[in-house]
Structure 1
Amino acid sequence: MTPEEIENAVAAGMPRAVEDLKRLVAIPSVAFPGHPAEPVLAAAEAVEELLRSAGLPHVRRIPVEGSFPAVYGEAPAPPGAPTVLLYAHYDVQPAGDPRLWRTPPFEPTLIDGRLYGRGAADDKSGVISHVAALRAFQGRFPVGIKVLIEGQEEYAGERLEAFIEANPELARADAIIVADTGNPKVGDPAVTTSLRGLAAFTIEVRTLKEAMHSGQFGGPTPDALAALIRMLASLHDDNGDIRVPGLPRGTFLGTGPSEEEFRKTAGVLDGVRLVGSGSLADRLWSSYAITVTGIDAPSVANAVNAVQPVARARVTVRVPPAGDPKTAVEDVIDHLRRVTPWGAKVAIDDVVLGSGFLAIPGGTARGALNRAMERAYGRPPRDIGAGGSIPLVAMLARLFPVAEILLFGAEDDGASIHAPNERVDLEELRRTILTEALFLAEYAGAAVPGR
């Protein structure tokens, strides 16, 4: 197919793609403990049907131990053509407090060219991008196709990693498209070339056998919550830079957002300063970041006048691509133990680790993607990093070191993924679909399989 024919096919298929996305978003496929399994399985069934509708001759659901099924499809490569693996996930984050949503989270709502609903961007837009790009070829694909749609990425993606480790041939390809990222803003084409890794743990601080009356015992009695607050506050200096030894600031070679753009996207209140040193790109994509993502302590609504015997916190460390998550989490835990006040007892559990990723520059697939994206967007893409983590990507890079891994998608920094009022811009979705379809055709003519 010519580029013009691909453009026409993608445009003609957009109404169907949007309706398919609406149907997917309406399924509350939250694969977290405590949520019903039936909607997640219904989403897997829907994805299986979508892949069949894309013209793939072989589609099936694959059981993944301890997780929800992955949906897998494939089509053999034409003689002499390379093979491309397409990845996305059909599970979504919990909706959270429904009062914070302007529209119901699982009732997809179209407003001013944007579709609102949980998973509309992350990552059901990725599923539809693959499906709609494949449909443009009407079953006559220019390259070999493998499609892997995960069912529990948001909660337990390491289970799919273990499955692929044991079954590497399912994912072996010359190029891999991961449709679980996006552009800094709508219409600003970008390829994500680095991902920070992840290290997380839960810390518990104990000082007393049980809570004690703050009037009768307050003063000399060690408060576990106060101890934990002091320990967590020691992780950063007054400027917001990390104080933990062994976690240096890194440098990102590409271009990051302006402070004005970032403040607007992040929703930073007027008069509140950004924290840390170095460029925004350095801080977001190439440096360590430590965040306290949860604290177990009495709520204000349920507060009583008592000295607390125990307090817990969940601490997340984002690790630059070259960093080692295990070493990073050990450095943070060692620091917290060193600054523990009053001889309080500290326990650590629920440690989670995930490696980062740094793309190899250049390459045949990247060149094909650059040309496809320039045609779809009207200008060439730039390299960006992502502060988030996709541990599967690091594992694929380790398993298939000669495969080119390309990260792009229909999300943008204003899409509110993992937050209330998540949405995807439908024009951005169209450009993403077009980019992928053009890439498949371009790559077919440029690549040599088995390189």
Structure 2
Amino acid sequence: MTAKKPAPSTADLRTRLDAEFPALLDELGALVAIPSISSLPQHQDDLARSAEHVRSRFEAAGLEARVLSETTPEGVVGKPAILAHGPRIEGAPTVLLYAHHDVQPVGDTSTWSSDPFTAEIRGERIYGRGTSDDGAGIIVHLGALRLLGDDLPVNVVVFIEGEEEIGSPSFQTFLERHAEELSADVIVVADSDNWKVGEPAVTATLRGNCTFTVDLRVADHAVHSGMFGGPLLDAVTCGALLVASMYDEDGNLSVDGLGGTDEADVVWPEDEYRQAAGVLDGVRLAGTGDLAARVWTKPALTVIGWDSTSVADASNTLAASTRIRFSLRTVPGQDPAVSMAAVEAAMRERAPWGCRLEFSQVDLGPAYQADMDAPATHLLHEVLTEAWGVPSVNIGVGGSIPFISQFQQTFPGASVVVTGVEDPLTNAHSEDESQSVPDLRCAILAEALYLARLAEAAAGRD
């Protein structure tokens, strides 16, 4: 089939959105009600149920959809993903729409203000696990397709992953085995942030991530802290000194070769950062340079786990060993292997009092740097600005989405654009996760405009 009639106007799409949006909010509530936690064995049936539910929704929107999973060459069995296709339009560009249907665990439910798996609207936000990360991404894609309906002017492929929250272990295998179906001119990733509530953004950069474990040892067995303490520092103290040695007096990570820039495109007011992060009064912020740059384009090292004797089990014993798990956020444009090598070299050089270090469980995730001059990026800014009524901006994101680089490597001819509907108040991965309802509306409209104008742009080039 060939697209002949003109795309619907912005006014037409707004009218359609008014009619469709209540049902789309209900669709989001239905997603939240399925505890599709990919990391917990007891929720694997829920994950399968979520995949089938999502498949059925895109099928109802007129796409051919199926649930698939792939096993990696190493034997890792992938989680269920949805692959869907719209009607074929000869000569039109192809757009791949990505989101994920798996969610994070909820932790202690007593810390939530409402049931994590019952969507609840309070004010202008909807609360529940997965409302924003990434149920909202799914609803943006579904909503845009519903708004366009029979007026859809591009070829659409929908890929809804089921294992993003556990690091996408079968992602590359899935891409390789379905490369022909997934191949596209433009890839839209709806799993990122806006600048603020009511202020849209294009994600220009994402930091990479290196996670690794350090086993630190000072003796071949534990000893009495009174009989031997003093000349011999315990392993936990040495671990604390090791961590402290990685920073300068201003709180910057002081390791050569990690790169980074001090400037950002926007100003992040300190009071807004402190409020979003829940920083206690009197706690000073670390580092130098623009605050946004410290989060987006400079490296960061975080202790994410530490094995030591608990307070409940404390005794007068000098620990011979300890184990520390680190997360190193690497700067855009930097090879994570280079960053990892630099940090390991620095730690070995600074190991306190000659303690022994062993590195293991190293996992590297690449950073992302968008092509800000690409026509697909300029068009994204255009439709975001039109949908929200305020100028969209370029932002970085301190977190990592390594699979975006896998998209770029597998489909080098495609333009990859990254957008989303989260904001600083979303609390993704934490209690009381929520999504701005007005921003969800705007994001649906923006994507519908984007699909329509991609076709117009392609026709103009022809």
Distance 1:72 1:288 in 2: 35
1:64 aligns with 2:86: no
- Look up the match of 1:219: 230
Deviation at 1:252, TM superposition (A): 4.6
Does residue 1:386 correspond to 2:392, yes or no? no
- Partner SS, residue 149 of structure 2: coil
Deviation of the 1:168 alpha carbon: 2.1
**Counterpart position of 2:39:** 32
Q: Go from structure 1 to structure 2 and tell me whether the alpha carbon gap of 1:252 and 1:448 turns closer, same or farther (over 3 Å shift).
A: farther
Give the match for residue 4 of structure 2.
none
Whether 1:407 aligns to 2:413 is no
The Cα of 1:450 is off from its aligned counterpart by 11
* Identical-pair percentage: 39
* Letter of the 2:411 counterpart: F
Cα separation, partners in 2 of 1:344 and 1:34, compared to 1, 3 Å: farther
TM-superposed deviation, 1:49: 1.1
Name the CA shift for 1:124/1:204 in 2 (closer, same or farther; >3 Å): same
Tell me: CA distance 1:146–1:326, structure 2 relative to 1, closer, same or farther (3 Å). same
> Alignment partner for residue 129 of structure 1, among 140, 148, 151?
140
Work out whether residues 212 and 327 of structure 2, in 8 Å CA contact, stay in contact via their aligned partners in 1: yes
Once the two structures are superposed, residues 23-50 of structure 1 have per-residue CA deviations (whole angstroms, 9 ceiling, x without a partner) of 1112111111544311111111111111
Q: Which of 178, 197, 208 does residue 186 from structure 1 map onto?
A: 197
Residue identity in the other structure for 1:313: I
Give the Cα–Cα distance (whole angstroms) in 1 for the partners of residues 460 and 103 of structure 2.
Answer: 34
Counterpart in the other structure of 1:165: 176
* TM-score normalised by length of structure 2: 0.93
Alignment: residue pair count: 450
1:18 aligns with 2:29: no
Q: Would you say the 8 A contact 2:371–2:377 is kept in 1? A: no
Counterpart residue type for residue 21 of structure 2: M
Q: Superposition pairs for residues 9-408 of structure 1, below 5 Å?
A: 9-56=16-63, 58-65=64-71, 66-252=77-263, 254-408=265-419
Do 1:208 and 1:222's aligned partners in 2 also have CA atoms closer than 8 Å? no
Higher mean alpha-carbon deviation, 311-320 vs 74-83, is at 74-83
Unpaired runs of 5+ residues, structure 1, are none
- Code of the aligned partner of 1:52: E
Deviations 1:86-133 (A, max 9, x none): 000011111122232222222222211211111111111101111111
- One-letter identity of the residue aligned with 1:68: K
- SS at 1:293 equivalent: strand
2:74 paired residue number: none
Give the CA deviation at 1:230: 0.9
Tell whether the 8 Å contact from 1:364 to 1:446 is kept in structure 2 after alignment.
no
Question: Aligned partners of 1:405, 1:197: CA distance in 2, in Å?
Answer: 17
Q: Return the match for 1:434 from 437, 441, 445.
A: 445
Pick aligned residue for 1:424 from 435, 444, 454: 435
Q: Does the C-alpha gap of structure 1 residues 219 and 61 become closer, same or farther in structure 2, counting only changes over 3 Å?
A: same
Q: Conserved in 1, the CA contact under 8 Å of 2:69 and 2:174?
A: no
Letter in 2 for 1:96: G
**One-letter identity of the residue aligned with 1:369:** L
Alpha-carbon distance between aligned partners in 2 of 1:187 and 1:207, rounded to the nearest angstrom: 53
Map Cα deviations across residues 256-315 of structure 1 (whole Å, 9 max, x no partner).
412232222222222222110111232121111111111111222332222112211111
Q: CA RMSD in A?
A: 1.9
Per the alignment, do residues 363 and 156 of structure 1 end up closer, same or farther by CA in structure 2, a change over 3 Å counting?
closer
Describe the superposition over 1:416-449 as per-residue Cα deviations: whole angstroms up to 9, x where unpaired.
Answer: 1111111011111111111111111111111269
**Structure 1 residues 450 and 64: alpha-carbon distance in aligned structure 2, compared to 1, 3 A threshold:** farther
Q: What's the secondary structure of 1:20's corresponding residue?
A: helix
CA shift at 1:204, angstroms?
1.0
Contact map agreement 2:102 2:161 (CA 8 A) in 1: yes
Secondary structure in 1 matching 2:382: helix
